[in-house]
Each structure stands twice: as C-alpha cells, then as structure tokens.
Amino acid sequence: MNKTINLTLKIWRQKDRSDKGRFETTPARDISTDMSFLEMLDVVNERLTLEGREPIAFEHDCREGICGSCGTMVNGRAHGPLKGTSLCQLHMRHFKDGDTLTIEPWRARAFPVIKDLVVDRSAYDRIIQAGGYVSVNTGSAPEANTLPVPPELAEKAMDAAACIGCGACVAACPNASAMLFVSAKISQLALLPQGRPEADRRALAMVRAMDACGFGNCSNHRECENACPKEISIANIARLNREFLHAGFISHET
C-alpha cells in the first residue's frame, strides 16, 4: 500500500504581479503515495526552506475539498488528472515513480497571478456582490415551513450550490469564461421559490458584472464541467441563458 515515489516538478515561479515568471525544475523525492498533492508540495517547501531558498507560494486551507482555496494546473489540467477532485483531495497514489509534473497557476485575464501559484480571484466576490443573494434582512424571514419546496428542486438547487468558488472552470475554459460559476449561483436561487422575486434582476446584474470583470464568453467547450471538482453540470449554464433571456426580453428590469 504505502510506497514512495520520486518525481520531477516543473513549477511556475513568479515573484509578484509585474514579474514575467518562469518555470523552475525541482525534484520531489521520497514522496509517500498516501500523501495528498499539497502534502507533496509541503515536503518540497520544507526542503527549499532548509536550503535557504524561498518556498513555493500556493493557496490552501481546509485541505478537504470544500473551501475552494487550492487549485493549480497539473500537466495542463485544472486540479490534476482525477475527475471531481480538488487538488487537496488528489493523492499521490495517482502518479507513477519518475513522472514529471508541470504545475502552473490558473491562467485567466480576470485572475492575475500574485505570486508563484497564487492568483487574485476577487472578481468572483464582485460578481456575487452584484446579485448573488436573496434580499432578506435578519429577522424578517417567515417561518421556514411556510414555503414548501419540492425535494427534487431542492436537490437540484443543492447540486448547483455545491460550487466552492475555486476558479477551475475559468482556468479550464479556452475563453476563460466564468459561466459555470455564475450559472451555479443563478441556478440555485432561480430554482428555489425564495429566489424568484429577484431572479430577473439577479441574472442581468451578475452577467453584467461577469463581463465587467474581464471573463470571456461561453462557447460550449464543456471543459468547465469536466474540470469542476464538485462536478457542477453545464445544465446550469443553459438555465442561466434562459433566465438571462427572460430577464432581457420579458421583464421590466433593465
């Protein structure tokens, strides 16, 4: 079960936003196959530190696939080779002794690189601010069971709500589109009766904010769905398009 492997990392190093950046080759030795990908990077960083070099900056926090902090391209794939898995949940047993891994940050105009593998994803927060909520002040909510929600709708809403905001969909998309992220939030709230009153305004505002942040358009490559660690379906994008068209043509919202 537990064995160790040796790897070669070709890893992106970039000092700051203005630095051009470059690949650096460094070994990852005696890596237990039970380690997570991030634990492998920890081991490399411990070595770099003791060698008097700067460790690789990478974002991480919960290390159980829910906070959405982590994520890099591994051999050209967002979050690495395993489907439905964020980088922190990817274990080294999925790699072979002697493998070379190319590790890069998310690449997108709307996600500028800050340092090494760390990017600026604040665009996502700006999109949510534009309308990713139900306007209900604390204290003004009705009794929870006054509004029944058919379980199949609640389940679909939950499927969409599972988005962790990691940015893999943008990184995987040839157009760096954020449609999967935006559609997940719009779908969750459009499916639930609580979200309906603001659905038109929300769809228009969030799509506008997405455009303003510099994300590209969706041209149905489906790479986002494939890269998503929570396997959010592109059916949500279809729903976003319906919501957006409805809002644009039929509603009074502008």
Partner 1 sequence: MRLDAKIPAGPLAQKWDRHRFETKLVNPANRRKYSILVVGTGLAGASASASLAELGYDVKTFCIHDSPRRAHSIAAQGGINAAKNYPNDGDSIWRLFYDTVKGGDFRAREANVYRLAQVSNAIIDQCTAQGVPFAREYGGLLANRSFGGAQLSRTFYARGQTGQQLLLGAYSAMMRQAAAGRVHLFPRREMLDLVVVNGQARGIVARNLLTGEIERHAGHAVLLCTGGYGNVYFLSTNAKACNVTATYRAYKRGAFFANPCFTQIHPTCIPVHGTYQSKLTLMSESLRNDGRVWVPKTPGDKRAPTEIPEAERDYFLERKYPSFGNLVPRDVASRNAKEQCDQGKGVGDTGLAVYLDFADAIQRDGKATIAKKYGNLFQMYEKITGDDPYRTPMMIYPAVHYTMGGLWVDYNLMSTVPGLFVLGEANFSDHGANRLGASALMQGLADGYFVIPATIGGYLAGTRFEAVTTGDAGFADAERQVAEQTRRLLSIGGKRTVDDFHRQLGLTMWDHCGMSRTNAGLERARAVIRELRAEFWRDVRVPGSAADLNQSLEKAGRVADFMEFAELMVLDALARQESCGGHFNEAFQTEENEARRDDQNFCHVAAWEFTGEGRDPNLHKEPLSFENVQLTQRSYK
Residue 11: phi and psi, rounded to 5, are -120, 140
CA-to-CA distance for 175 and 66, rounded, in angstroms?
26
What is the CB neighbour count within 10 angstroms for residue 194? 15
Residues 185-204 within binding reach of partner 1 (CB under 8 A) = 188-189, 192, 194-195
In the set 13, 91, 222, 242, which binds partner 1 (CB under 8 A)? 91
Which of 11, 28, 36, 71 is close enough to bind partner 1 by CB under 8 A?
A: 36
Structure token pair of residue 159: 């499927």
Distance CA 244, CA 186 (A): 10
Beta carbon nearer to partner 1, 90 or 234: 90
Contact between residue 133 and residue 85 where contact means Cβ atoms under 8 Å apart: no
- Residue 114 within binding range of partner 1, rule CB under 8 A: yes
Least distance in angstroms from the C-beta of 250 to partner 1? 22
What is the smallest separation between the CB atom of 55 and partner 1, expressed in angstroms? Answer: 6
Is 235 an interacting residue with respect to partner 1 (CB under 8 A)?
Answer: no
Q: Under the criterion CB under 8 A, does residue 237 sit at the interface with partner 1?
A: no
Closest distance of CB 219 from partner 1, Å? 27
Q: How far is the CB of 145 from partner 1 (least distance, A)?
A: 5
Task: Give whichever of 29 and 219 is closer to partner 1, judged by the CB atom.
Answer: 29
What is the rounded CA–CA span in Å between residue 80 and residue 186?
Answer: 27
Q: What is the nearest approach in angstroms of partner 1 to the Cβ of residue 234?
A: 19
Q: Which of residues 142-171 bind partner 1 (CB under 8 A)?
A: 142-145, 147-151, 154-155, 157-158, 161-162, 164-165
Amino acid at 54: E
Which runs of E-coded beta strand occur in the chain? 4-13, 22-32, 73-74, 77-78, 100-104, 113-115, 118-119
- Amino acid identity of residue 212, one-letter, is A
Q: What residues from 51 to 70 belong to the interface with partner 1 (CB under 8 A)?
A: 52-55, 57, 59-69
Structure tokens at 175: 């157009």
137 binds partner 1 (CB under 8 A): yes
CA–CA separation, 14 vs 39, rounded Å?
21
